[in-house]
Amino acid sequence: SQQGEEDPQALSIQEGENATMNCSYKTSINNLQWYRQNSGRGLVHLILIRSNEREKHSGRLRVTLDTSKKSSSLLITASRAADTASYFCASGHSNTGKLIFGQGTTLQVKP
Amino acid sequence: ETGVTQTPRHLVMGMTNKKSLKCEQHLGHNAMYWYKQSAKKPLELMFVYNFKEQTENNSVPSRFSPECPNSSHLFLHLHTLQPEDSALYLCASSQEGRGESDTQYFGPGTRLTVL
């Protein structure tokens, strides 16, 4: 199985609610990144958290990292219809410099 | 706009055709990547170039042939493709593709359909 498995695969919420997405990975990382993709478009970088960090904020985004559990979560607070997109975690590996992407979580925010 | 452009945005080709995808980055980065995104599958890394040198070929079939003439341009030459190669092909760039895993900046992708 692959690195960066995400859960849930799909999430549907009402505008104003919070959305939480989780990601797990298998081997050591130097950072973990979250990206967003609108339908049929390229990925846009949202936030990067380094392996020695536990929590990071950017606007309405909050990312946590638990290296002991090899997991990360992305929280979007006070969601908006414009947040509707697919969200991917990507684990960054120090020995290769590569990013390994998960399958993504599809978020639908209903107005 | 992320500073990475891709052309064409859509491409339909027959299995006997030869075509090329083009990617250009205006960010001064030294690493460029090709990814394949198929429905219900994770993003698959295909090729990595660092300072114009290919540093990764992820067991990609030879019907896909990359070319990186300089740090700003990346091509993917396609020939005798199969219908299962239909996908969204994404190009990305980062400051450097070794060591620390840098943030990657993606182009909008080329939607490829092979008939």
Cβ proximity of B73 and B23 under 8 Å: yes
Q: What are B38-50's pLDDT values in tens digits?
A: 987 889 999 999 8
| CA dihedral sign of residues B48, B50, B52, B55 | negative
Q: Which of A2, A33, A41 sits opposite B103 (nearest CB)?
A: A33
Question: What residues in chain A have their Cβ under 8 A from chain B's Cβ atoms?
Answer: 2, 4, 29-31, 33, 35, 40-45, 48, 88, 90, 92-94, 97-104
Q: Are strands A10-14 and A105-110 parallel, antiparallel or unpaired?
A: parallel
Q: How confident is the model at residue A1 (pLDDT cuts 50, 70, 90)?
A: very low
Q: What are A43-97's pLDDT values in tens digits?
A: 999 999 999 999 999 999 999 999 999 999 999 999 999 999 999 999 987 666 6
Tell me the count of A-B CB pairs closer than 8 A.
Answer: 66
C-alpha span between B81 and B100 (Å, rounded): 34
Task: Sort residue A94 into left (φ over 0), alpha (ψ -120 to 50) or beta.
Answer: alpha
Q: Do A103 and B40 touch (CB under 8 A)?
A: yes
| B2 lies within 8 A of chain A by CB | yes
| Chain A hits for B90, Cβ within 8 Å | 42-43
Q: Which of B13, B38, B47, B41 is nearest to B115 (CA)?
A: B13
Nearest CA in chain B to A33: B103
Q: Which of B61, B103, B15 is nearest to A43 (CA)?
A: B103
